[in-house]
Every structure is written in C-alpha cells, then in structure tokens.
C-alpha cells in the first residue's frame, strides 16, 4: 500500500509544536516520515505569518532544503486556490516555478482545475487530481489529463465517518466505471482520517496521513509528530 505523508497543510504549530513550517523543518520531517514508512511526501509552503503560498521563490527554498538531505525523496505540493488570489494568478505562478516538485495536486472542486492540470503535465511534473464530492467527478472525467494522473485523490467532505467512507466508495466506483485504471487514494480530515485509512486498506487503495489531515493517533491520543502517524498507518495495514 502506498502511504503518503501530508506533513503540514495549513496546520498551526500552536496546535502541535512539531508541525513543520520552515524549509529546514519540512526537510527534517521528510527524513523522519520516510524512515517511519512513508512512500511519498506532500507539503505546503508556508509564509512567515503562517499562511500558505505557491510563489516560486519560497517553493524553491523548500525543495532545495529537502533535496539536500533526501535527494531521492518523491515530494509534491498543492496548487490550491487558497494559496493565491485566484485562477489566473495560480496559472501564472505555477508557470513561473523554476525548481519543480516531483508531483503537484489539482483539486477538481476548484475553478479552472483542468487548465491547471494541463500546465502541470506540460511542465513535466507528475499530476495527481483530487475530487471532494460526486459533483467534481464529471469534471475530472472530462479533463484532457484524466489518463495522465499518477493517482486520483478522493477527499470526501462529509464530517461523519460512515458517510465519508460511503461517499469515498461511491466516487471510486464512478471513477472505475469510467475506465480509469490509475491508483485511487482515500484520505480524510479530523474524525474521518482513520476510518478512511481503514477503508483504503480494505478496498486495496492508497492512503495518506499527516498533520495536514489530523493530529490524533487511531486511539484518540495526540500524535507527537508526523512520523508517529505514519507508523500508526503502517501498523493498521499489517494487522
């Protein structure tokens, strides 16, 4: 089972002091989660005020720091619209990236996702596309880059675990019915993190954990760091 570590997202160190924010912290955390059993790493570039950005200079700083300590790590970042002023700026910023991540994520719940996905592929990055609801699935299936995806991320927005698992499985079934053969990854948020990890294991899909998605271990205790979350997910997969 491929396991992705989502190491920070927009999580504040006030919530967990070990959330990696600076380039050096993200690089060190990359080493830690790889040692704990992560296969790939997803990070968000953070600004000094705690925000998120996809501007080329800070992205290059993080990637350079990671590759200095973990040159073989497979790492990716977001193209989320919350990191910029809107679709046009997002396109310009991704187009201006000088140091490229191995992969980039594009959410098909967002405006202009298909064009951004085409740019990711055109620039030589590996694409992973995300759907949050069943309404996103037709847009994904109509996209020119559908069969360029290394994986499809299913990120249900339902907050109740049973409903989130049901929604993830329904989206996966629709995607498979359309002939998509690339891997599917389930992941949750907060109370749905571990139910979706378990569902991914049961369904033979990929999954992810990390401070972006949740801060607690399966037993409800606070995770001291991202590596502990990765070890917990690996333990569930081998039960």
Split at pLDDT 50, 70, 90, the class of 23 is very high
The C-alpha atoms of residue 43 and residue 11 are separated, in whole angstroms, by: 11
Write phi, then psi, for 180 (nearest 5 degrees).
-75, 130
For residue 151, pLDDT beyond 90: yes
The C-alpha atoms of residue 103 and residue 237 are separated, in whole angstroms, by: 25
Q: Which residues contact 164 (CB under 8 A, 6 or more apart)?
A: 156, 158, 188, 192, 195, 196
The C-alpha atoms of residue 177 and residue 48 are separated, in whole angstroms, by: 45
Mean pLDDT across 17-27: 98
The C-alpha atoms of residue 57 and residue 163 are separated, in whole angstroms, by: 40
The C-alpha atoms of residue 70 and residue 93 are separated, in whole angstroms, by: 25
| Size (the chain), residues | 239
Model pLDDT for residues 112-141, shown as the tens digit of each residue? 999 999 999 999 999 999 999 999 999 999
Split at pLDDT 50, 70, 90, the class of 207 is very high
The C-alpha atoms of residue 148 and residue 164 are separated, in whole angstroms, by: 27
The whole-number pLDDT of residue 30 equals: 98
Model pLDDT for residues 95-120, shown as the tens digit of each residue? 999 999 999 999 999 999 999 999 99
The whole-number pLDDT of residue 239 equals: 80
Mean pLDDT across 12-36: 97
For residue 174, pLDDT beyond 90: yes
Find out whether 198 and 236 touch, Cβ atoms under 8 Å: yes
pTM of full prediction above 0.95 = yes
CA atoms within 13 A on the CB side of 57: 1
Q: Average model confidence (pLDDT) for the chain?
A: 97
Find out whether 224 and 206 touch, Cβ atoms under 8 Å: no
């Amino acid at each position: 089972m491929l396991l992705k570590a989502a190491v920070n997202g927009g999580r504040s160190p006030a919530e967990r002091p070990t959330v990696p924010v600076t380039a050096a912290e993200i690089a060190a955390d990359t080493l830690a989660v790889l040692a704990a059993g992560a296969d790939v790493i997803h990070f968000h570039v953070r600004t000094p005020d705690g925000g998120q950005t996809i501007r080329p200079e800070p992205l290059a700083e993080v990637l350079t720091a990671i590759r200095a300590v973990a040159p073989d790590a497979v790492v990716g970042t977001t193209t989320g619209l919350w990191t910029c002023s809107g679709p046009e700026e997002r396109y310009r910023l991704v187009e201006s990236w000088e140091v490229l991540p191995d992969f980039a994520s594009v959410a098909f719940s967002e405006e202009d996702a298909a064009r951004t996905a085409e740019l990711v592929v055109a620039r030589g990055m590996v694409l992973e596309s995300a759907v949050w609801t069943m309404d996103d699935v037709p847009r994904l299936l109509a996209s020119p880059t559908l069969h360029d995806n290394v994986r499809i991320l299913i990120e249900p927005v339902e907050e109740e675990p049973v409903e989130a698992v049901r929604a993830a499985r329904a989206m996966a079934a629709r995607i498979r019915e359309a002939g998509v053969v690339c891997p599917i990854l389930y992941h949750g948020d907060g109370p749905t993190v571990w139910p979706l990890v378990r569902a991914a294991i049961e369904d033979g899909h990929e999954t992810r954990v990390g401070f972006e998605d949740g801060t607690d271990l399966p037993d409800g205790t606070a995770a001291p760091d991202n590596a502990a979350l990765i070890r917990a997910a690996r333990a569930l997969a081998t039960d």
